[in-house]
Structures are given as structure tokens and as C-alpha cells.
Amino acid sequence: MTQDEQKRSAAEKAVSMLPRGEIIGVGTGSTVNHFISALEAIKHDIRGAVVTSQETEKRLRQLGIPIVSPAEAGRLSVYVDGADEINHSLQMIKGGGGALLAEKIVASIADTFICIADESKYVSKLGKFPLPVEVAPFARSVVAKALIRMGGTPQLRMGFTTESGHEILDTAGLDLSRPLTMEDNINQIAGVMDNGLFARRPADVLVLAGKKGVEIISIGTH
């Protein structure tokens, strides 16, 4: 199976795990795009979706799935999203697609976070993928200096503005051996809107597709 076929397999498996007749949360990215395509088969059983980007919204609207705000939804039983890296505690780096702020908000109102991923994303140690840090443009250099003091090498994502009007500093070299502490420490820098570490709110279930098939991993599986 190619990487793209693995993404599709994980996405299709996640669709089979969804509750029926409910509002679900939907993330952003190429794996999620496969998920949305697979949703077509059960779209009449999806009451609505809380979305994390305009791209996801557009694709769900094409299927005729109603878009619901986080306020209208209240709580969600399930949120489905991809990841750039996910470790064995199901903590993640996200934000490669730049939607990390909305993703973190929607994840925070979900009872169950189902992460869908191909095997290249499953790592024993987070940090090969540069950590996306979303910043207010006015604070860019202040935040960059603070990240350098923390051991990182921030690089501005050129020509990119998030849907909330912020910038992203893709930050390599940080020691992410304590993801929860690092997530909190970065978020304490004035001007940081959020960062792509999902340690405070990790995934609950990982649907991981590899060359031999799809595996369901939850905390305690490994």
C-alpha cells in the first residue's frame, strides 16, 4: 500500500467507527479529505459537522452535511483528525496544514478524539517534524527570540496566513521529551496563539494504517 492508500484505509475504518445520527468534529488535511470522501456512504446518518477549516467545510457542504458552530454543538462525541506525528501515548504534533488553532478548539469539546494516520506518522519520540507555533504577526520576532532561547530554530512559514489571520513559526530542534510541559511553556509566551503539540488533549484512539492493514491503538495497547 502506498502512503496515500494507507491514509484512505485509516479514513475508511474511522467512518465505520462513527456514531450515527450525531454531530461530529472534522479536522483538516489530506487524510481527513479521504475521511470526508468515505463519509459520502453514510452522509444521511451524520446530523452535522463542526469544522476546522474552510477546505473541510467546502468538502462537507458538497456532500450536503450541515455545518454547525462549536457553540451550537456544545459537546461532540467524536472528533476525527490526522496528525503530523503521533507517539505511543497518542500525543501529537499537528498544524502541518496550518489549522492547529481550530483543531485544538474542536478537539477540546470532543469526548473521543480519533486520530487517523498512515504508519509514517507513528513515532516513538516527537520532534522530527518541526513544531508549528501560531503567532500574532505583531509578536513574530518576540516569540521567535523566546523559541530560540528554548533551544528551537523557528522559521516563518512564508506566504502563509492562518484563517484567523496569524502567522506560523515552524520550529525545529526543540526538546519534546516532555510534550505536556513544552506545550504549556510555549503557550505562555506572549503573542503565541497556540502550538501544534497536542499533549494536554491527546488522541484517545489511533486508527493506524500500515502495509499489512489497519490497526486500532488506544492507550494501553502498547
- Here's the x/- map for ligand 5RP, 6-45, by CB under 6 A: it reads as ---------------------xxxxx--------------
**Among the listed residues 25, 82, 130, 179, the single contact to ligand 5RP using CB under 6 A:** 82
**Among the listed residues 97, 152, 154, 191, the single contact to ligand 5RP using CB under 6 A:** 97
Instruction: Let me know if 103 is a catalytic residue.
Output: yes
For 14, the enclosing helix (H) or strand (E) is helix 3-16
99 within 8 A of 27, measured Cβ to Cβ: yes
Would you give the DSSP letter of residue 21? S
DSSP bridge pairs for 49: 24, 67
Least Cβ distance, residue 118 to ligand 5RP (angstroms): 8
Choices 16-24, 63-71, 90-98, 150-158 (CB under 6 A): range interacting with ligand 5RP: 90-98
- Measured from the CB atom, the residue of 26 and 65 that comes closer to ligand 5RP is 26
Q: Which of 4, 53, 1 is nearest to 30 (CA)?
A: 4
- Measured from the CB atom, the residue of 47 and 55 that comes closer to ligand 5RP is 55
Query: Is there binding between residue 195 and ligand 5RP (CB under 6 A)?
Result: no
Please state, in angstroms and rounded to a whole number, the distance separating the CA atoms of residues 181 and 187. Answer: 10
Query: Is there binding between residue 166 and ligand 5RP (CB under 6 A)?
Result: no
What is the distance of C-alpha 61 from the center of its chain? 20
In degrees and rounded to multiples of 5, residue 108 shows phi and psi of: -70, -20
Per annotation, catalytic residue among 5, 12, 57, 103 = 103
Residue written as grid cell 473541510: 56
- Here's the x/- map for ligand 5RP, 105-124, by CB under 6 A: it reads as --------------------
Residue written as grid cell 503573542: 191
Burial class of 211 by CB neighbour count within 10 A (0 to 12, 13 to 18, 19+) = exposed
What the block records as the C-alpha cell of 6 is 494507507
In degrees and rounded to multiples of 5, residue 69 shows phi and psi of: -80, 160
- Measured from the CB atom, the residue of 97 and 148 that comes closer to ligand 5RP is 97
Least Cβ distance, residue 54 to ligand 5RP (angstroms): 12
- Measured from the CB atom, the residue of 10 and 149 that comes closer to ligand 5RP is 10
Which residues here bind ligand 5RP, judged by CB under 6 A? 27-31, 81-84, 94-100, 103
* Catalytic residue set: 103
